[in-house]
A and B are shown apart, each in its own frame.
Chain A
């Protein structure tokens, strides 16, 4: 992950639910009460980078408490994980978070959850196969206008296929682009053979 990786930066900006363990003066504006100190026990959604810093920062608290503790964001919540276990292809990940996998890797680094890595990995691989299928079927050179039947696709442009593609997160979009580039340049090459 490069320093200038825009996706990494945007992933760091994802909000995760945090609970403050200590009273913090002058942070009241985070909870819409600018004049008061932030009370312990307040739940605030903080960006990942800030939550991470606050969670590991040394507070000097005698009981060893950190500023915040955080839970898994709703994108990785139980509902979503159960749905992904049932059928990875049926969940529009983009609605959960545009940087679903980035968020997931980050959270897996921070929280040790038994089931999560397996489910996420299975989701990624299952959906990747589906992504490749769509990338290959979705027209090549200038065939955007053609109908699905002409392309020999049984997925169709509307309906399930398009719905699925709209639900891709950023990793999957990149994957789609790569797979599509490959299929497209293959098609271009094949059409060019006859010209030489």
Chain B
């Protein structure tokens, strides 16, 4: 009767999907373009940065063929900004997902325009339909450069937790080198080693805080279902891994509320139908009166 798997994606599946995210690498060896199912990878020439899928970047990192540049949002300053926004500025909602990538329009100085838009620069300022471009094409996770080095700081992409954890686990030295003081990438001396580990510790701690803050928010967001009439919670900005973790619980709560409200709902509907009938009669009576 029941499938052994819960509805939705499991953590492993989410982590697998997150490996499609693009990250920026600095190659240390030449590598020709590889023709993959998802398209060709860029040619790697040592001093030039390139955007690769996370899985390939991690593979090259393990073979010491490339260094990974951590995305801007993984910087401690960006993370603490987000935590500040989540706890102080807007303790009710989750922080916004990253905006659509935009590029300055050379013909009109001072005006930026969304990339990949099929024209119509006037839709550039509305952020509400993020991901839906004017051509009607929806660009979702792997096709938005949300985890690369030129991603905007201060926004969490959809796969933030997975990418951050994988980068910290497998490319911790690169992350520390890029974030800690910028230049000290050698990592040879004892001092830079200790400072790099402290940066890593800071990032880990901030991520931990962020996970806790947002998990608490997700839990308490169900409280809005307590009164009749309310009951829509906005999950905008929630990451894939958080969804995987809380899906069972949130679905359980919503289902429970639905069952508890079923009798009231039917009663209300019946009353409404009666009311409509009466209302209709009343109106017609009035018309007759007039």
A residues whose Cβ falls under 8 Å from a Cβ of B? 2, 4, 101, 104-105, 108-109, 112, 117-118, 120-122, 124-126, 128-129, 132-133, 135-136, 171, 174-175, 178-179, 181-183, 185-186, 188-190, 193-194
Chain B residues with CB below 8 A from A117, complex form: 228, 260-261, 263-264
Listed A/B pairs (23) with beta-carbon separation below 8 Å: A2-B1, A4-B1, A105-B259, A105-B262, A108-B260, A108-B264, A109-B263, A117-B261, A117-B263, A118-B227, A121-B226, A121-B227, A124-B257, A125-B226, A129-B219, A132-B249, A136-B215, A178-B251, A181-B6, A185-B11, A186-B244, A193-B166, A194-B169
- Having A4-B1, A112-B267, one finds 15 other A-B pairs with CB under 8 Å, namely A109-B262, A109-B263, A120-B260, A121-B261, A122-B226, A125-B226, A126-B226, A128-B249, A129-B222, A132-B222, A175-B249, A179-B246, A183-B245, A185-B11, A190-B165
Chain B residues with CB below 8 A from A194, complex form: 169
Contact status A185-B256, CB under 8 Å:
no
Residue of B nearest to A172 (CB): B256
**Bound form: Cα–Cα A104–B257 in Å:** 12
Contact status B263-A129, CB under 8 Å:
no
Q: Does B17 contact A (CB under 8 A)?
A: no
Chain A residues with CB below 8 A from B85, complex form: none
**Bound form: Cα–Cα A60–B157 in Å:** 68
Residue of B nearest to A185 (CB): B11
Residue of B nearest to A189 (CB): B11
Contact status B12-A189, CB under 8 Å:
yes
Residue of B nearest to A188 (CB): B11
Most A CB within 10 A of own CB, among B15, B215, B263: B263
Contact status A186-B257, CB under 8 Å:
no
**Bound form: Cα–Cα A135–B249 in Å:** 10
* Cβ of B219 to closest chain A Cβ, rounded Å: 4
Residue of B nearest to A192 (CB): B12
Cβ-defined partner of A104 (8 Å) among B220, B244, B245, B260:
B260
* Cβ of A111 to closest chain B Cβ, rounded Å: 10
Chain B residues with CB below 8 A from A133, complex form: 219
Chain A residues with CB below 8 A from B222, complex form: 125, 128-129, 132
Chain B residues with CB below 8 A from A175, complex form: 249, 252-253, 256
Chain A residues with CB below 8 A from B6, complex form: 178, 181
Contact status A185-B257, CB under 8 Å:
no
Beta-carbon contacts of B221-265 to A below 8 Å, as 1s and 0s?
011011110000000000001001111110111001101111110
Sort chain B's interface into a size bin.
35 or more
Cβ-defined partner of B247 (8 Å) among A112, A129, A182, A193:
A182
**Bound form: Cα–Cα A182–B256 in Å:** 18
CB proximity to A under 8 Å, residues B186-221: 215, 219-220
Contact status B11-A171, CB under 8 Å:
no
* Cβ of B72 to closest chain A Cβ, rounded Å: 22
Cβ-defined partner of A101 (8 Å) among B166, B220, B251, B260:
B260
Chain B residues with CB below 8 A from A128, complex form: 222, 249, 252-253, 256
* Cβ of B217 to closest chain A Cβ, rounded Å: 11
Contact status A125-B257, CB under 8 Å:
yes
Contact status B246-A182, CB under 8 Å:
yes
Contact status A186-B260, CB under 8 Å:
no
Residue of B nearest to A186 (CB): B245
Chain A residues with CB below 8 A from B261, complex form: 117, 121
With contacts A121-B228, A128-B222 taken as known, whether A189 is within 8 angstroms of B256 at the C-beta atoms is no
Contact status B219-A101, CB under 8 Å:
no
Q: Does B10 contact A (CB under 8 A)?
A: yes
Cβ-defined partner of B219 (8 Å) among A108, A120, A132, A189:
A132
* Cβ of B161 to closest chain A Cβ, rounded Å: 9
Residue of A nearest to B259 (CB): A105
Chain A residues with CB below 8 A from B220, complex form: 129
Contact status B223-A118, CB under 8 Å:
no
**Bound form: Cα–Cα A133–B220 in Å:** 9
* Cβ of A104 to closest chain B Cβ, rounded Å: 7
**Bound form: Cα–Cα A51–B116 in Å:** 66
Most A CB within 10 A of own CB, among B166, B264, B267: B264
Most A CB within 10 A of own CB, among B222, B226, B248, B260: B260
* Cβ of B3 to closest chain A Cβ, rounded Å: 15
With contacts A179-B249, A186-B245 taken as known, whether A126 is within 8 angstroms of B12 at the C-beta atoms is no
